[in-house]
Amino acid sequence: MLHRLKLTRWTIMGEFSLLYTSICCILAVSFASAKVSDDTGDNSHVATVLAQSGKDTRYGKNLKEIRIEGIRYTHEDIILRELASKVGQPYIKKNAQKDFAKLDKLDIFSVIDIQPIEEGNDLILEIRVRELFPYLPFFSYEITDENGFAAGPGFQSVNLLGKDRFFLGAARFGGATNISTLYQDPWIAGNHLSVTLEFFQRDRFNELDQFNEIASEGTLRVGSYLGEYGRIGGRFSFLSIKSDSAGKTLSESNRDNVPTLGFFIGYDSRDLWSNPHRGWWNEFELSKTGGLLGSDGDFWSFNFDMRRYVPIIERHTLALFSLTTLRIGDVGADIPLHQDFHLGGTNSVRGWDISSDRSGKHQWINTAEYRVTLMDPKVLSLFGLTADIGLQAALFGDLGVVWDESDAFETDNFIGGYGLGLRFLVPFVNMFRIDFAFGEPGESFILHIGSFEKPVAQRFRVR
């Protein structure tokens, strides 16, 4: 389960071993046919907890002890603090279901097995895990619709010092030059109070706005749980972007300095983070760029991100996504040109190439995917590393529009695409997508290759 849910971390696209992931994809296809009819194997996503049966007499018994086996790097308290089941309290079905989901979300184990064992009138909860190796040098790559392929060395830790802290550093060269670092501690205090620090440096030719761009950005993000399903937090970022051409920045010096302060509140009721079958993930974000912060831009942004997972039958899931971004200000006066949105490509409306002709300060992107699991995530060992690998097929449709003025929000400006694809559930990025999409007139089909689930990737796609 090497696919950690940390949204700001995911702004570093394609951060995983190309060789490792390619082998994982091949193995996923190889095992798919056998796995469709056989669910009895070692499957880290099938919770072997008591939650399978609500009538089991062990429910309601006092939990005497929690035993943890298999940890070599992880501190035991990292596991214990996540569990809904507590020593000295009755063991109930609701907590049994939560325990597995919470350990899955830690994203540092390839195997999680939870078994309640009777001991007289009490229960002992036995938790067996298999850890992911916490430190990994890797070959980092990135594929974007604008700049193509870039690759280089990287290093990451998914479990720094055994505390579920995440660190990543990478450098990529090719269609663009990118240097990036990321650190996150998911629980430093309180109710999952987390902190994320991120920095990137990018040197590329901006194809859509036609200028050579050198950009540096740092971001601090702080978040916390709000009750069981609520999420709340804020972020501060500072972007400095330099152009080699006049008229591409708001500043006459050809360098824009753009600070942004934002607040978000969300709701997450998904049954599993790594491969959800039911539930919601929603977020509202309000941010201010410039103003009292001082800036070469001055505008408000509103993000409404809604994701719904609807179970149809076993192995079949309907996933519905909608992203709306609204901004107050004028492009070229308050909003820098390099901050507008462009429609088309892998992470917005598939079946269309990304284009400078479709741009605007507002965006509305909608997606429906019907997913069929061909192979449940299966634990495999590769070169001494363990990971869970799965495979899905998907039918999808996208519909979107970008606009500046309200009169441009009309039917003729919407574009839509549809197609079919494969979803490899692989380490490091959660999902590796291969899509064959139709939509743009004059094109037979367009092949899209992307990392991460689409609603995640469309939040940080290159503008």
CATH code for the domain of 141: 2.40.160.50
Q: What is the mean pLDDT of residues 155-160?
A: 92
Look at residue 421 and tell me if it is in a domain.
yes
> Nearest CA to 114 among 103, 380, 134?
103
**CA neighbor of 415 nearest in space, from 353, 364, 349, 360:** 349
pLDDT digits (tens, 9 = 90+) for 122-134: 899 999 998 888 8
For residue 265, is it within any domain?
A: yes
- Residue pair 299/327 in contact (Cβ under 8 Å)? The answer is yes
State how far the Cα of 263 lies from the Cα of 223, in Å rounded to an integer: 10
Q: What stretches of 359-414 adopt beta strand conformation (E)? A: 359-360, 362-382, 385-403
CA distances 349 to 80, 129, 367, 418, Å, are 43, 40, 8, 9
How does pLDDT run across 291-317, given as a tens digit for each residue?
888 888 899 999 999 999 999 999 999
Both structure tokens of 305:
């991100």
Residue 33 pLDDT > 50: no
What's the domain count of the chain?
A: 1
pLDDT band of residue 14 (cuts 50, 70, 90) is: very low
Within-domain flag for 250: yes
pLDDT at 1 over 70: no
The torsion defined by the Cα of 346, 234, 406 and 362, in degrees rounded to 10, comes to -20
Four-residue CA torsion sign, 310, 42, 387, 131: positive
For the chain, what is the radius of gyration of the CA atoms? 23
Model confidence at 255: pLDDT above 50: yes
Written as six digits, the tokens of 146 are: 């604008």
Q: Which residue has better confidence, 274 or 191? A: 191
Position 209 in a domain:
yes
Query: Of all residues in the chain, what percent carry a pLDDT higher than 70?
Result: 85
Q: Which domain holds residue 352?
A: 9-20+133-457
- Residue 445 burial (CB < 10 Å; 0-12/13-18/19+)? middle
Bridge partner list, 148: 144
Q: Determine the average pLDDT of the residues in 256-284.
A: 94
Share of the chain above pLDDT 90, in %: 62
User: Is 410 a member of any domain?
Assistant: yes
**In-domain check, residue 34:** no
Question: Does residue 99 lie in a domain region?
Answer: no
